[in-house]
Amino acid sequence: MAASRLELNLVRLLSRCEAMAAEKRDPDEWRLEKYVGALEDMLQALKVHASKPASEVINEYSWKVDFLKGMLQAEKLTSSSEKALANQFLAPGRVPTTARERVPATKTVHLQSRARYTSEMRSELLGTDSAEPEMDVRKRTGVAGSQPVSEKQSAAELDLVLQRHQNLQEKLAEEMLGLARSLKTNTLAAQSVIKKDNQTLSHSLKMADQNLEKLKTESERLEQHTQKSVNWLLWAMLIIVCFIFISMILFIRIMPKLK
């Protein structure tokens, strides 16, 4: 099925945003954030469009838009370690946006961001300015014969600190994954319990309906039986009253004759 005009515009804007994200931008750059907001609106419109693409394609667009949005949010953080941690949880797209791409642009942007934040962390730990080029460090290492040894030692310590940060981030990610699995397990268990409770409740309601029907039937039978008993009792009382009345009349007629 041919892509709609809305989808073509979304792909063009998405490709433009990926290109801007891969470039070095000024801190005051605001266009990319506006473009990402426009991408979100276009993606929501595409989901309800009459000629929307397959769900896999829409999910791929959503991953890329969420990646760009998360990347912008990570750039607003103050600490480079927070930026690196936030960048680690971003999920780039798996499919190239255009046919000219061999590797998804979001994956390239993800790797560039990771390298940049690692460099910023290295600069912060060494106490140097992140804007200084690496050539200045290399020039300073060649000033005296004793400096390369100290620089190597500092680099080794820095690698150790970065490794600790990496291990800490991996441990945090594993803990979050474990919490997610535990939450999923608890949710499934609660769902199973709720399902059983619903089945028990449905069975109880069914039994209550059956008992109500039986009670209604027995009530009708009892009512009919009661009506029959009342009729027989009424006739019996009438017969007794008539018998007593006739007996009184006969008694009254017989008594004067005896006098």
223-241 pLDDT, tens digit per residue, is 877 766 667 777 888 899 9
Among 97-111, 153-167, 191-205, the range with the most confident prediction by mean pLDDT is 191-205
Instruction: Select the more confidently predicted residue: 48 or 161.
Output: 48
Could you give the dihedral angle defined by the CA atoms of residues 131, 28, 117 and 37, in that order, rounded to the nearest 10 degrees? -160
- Identify residue 122 by its one-letter amino acid code: R
Q: Token match 């891969």: residue? A: 22
Checking if the pLDDT of 131 tops 50, the result is: no
Checking if the pLDDT of 132 tops 60, the result is: no
Cα distances (Å, whole numbers) of residue 75 to 23, 69, 79, 107, 190: 14, 10, 10, 17, 39
Q: Do 104 and 68 form a contact (C-beta atoms < 8 A)?
A: no
Residue 80's nearest CA partner among 118, 109, 107 is 118
**Contacts (Cβ under 8 Å, ≥6 apart) of 17:** 32, 35, 36, 39, 68
Number of H helices, E strands in the chain: 7, 0
Checking if the pLDDT of 139 tops 70, the result is: no
Q: Report helix, strand and coil shares of the chain as percent, to nearest 5.
A: 80, 0, 20
Task: Map residue 159 onto helix, strand or coil.
Answer: helix
Task: Map residue 133 onto helix, strand or coil.
Answer: coil
Checking if the pLDDT of 184 tops 80, the result is: yes
Q: Please report which confidence band the pLDDT of residue 134 belongs to, taking 50, 70 and 90 as the band edges.
A: very low
Q: Please report which confidence band the pLDDT of residue 158 belongs to, taking 50, 70 and 90 as the band edges.
A: low
* DSSP code at position 97: S
Instruction: Select the more confidently predicted residue: 200 or 91.
Output: 200
Predicted pLDDT of residue 125: 72
> What is the rounded average pLDDT of the residues 88-111?
80
Q: Name the token pair of 100.
A: 């000219």
Predicted pLDDT of residue 227: 67
* Cβ neighbours around 21 below 10 Å, total: 23
Predicted pLDDT of residue 171: 82
> What is the rounded average pLDDT of the residues 34-53?
85
- Identify residue 132 by its one-letter amino acid code: E
Q: Please report which confidence band the pLDDT of residue 103 belongs to, taking 50, 70 and 90 as the band edges.
A: confident
| Measured distance CA(229)–CA(250) in Å, rounded | 32
Instruction: Select the more confidently predicted residue: 154 or 69.
Output: 69
Predicted pLDDT of residue 155: 62
> What is the rounded average pLDDT of the residues 89-116?
81
1-10, 89-98, 132-141, range with the lowest pLDDT:
132-141
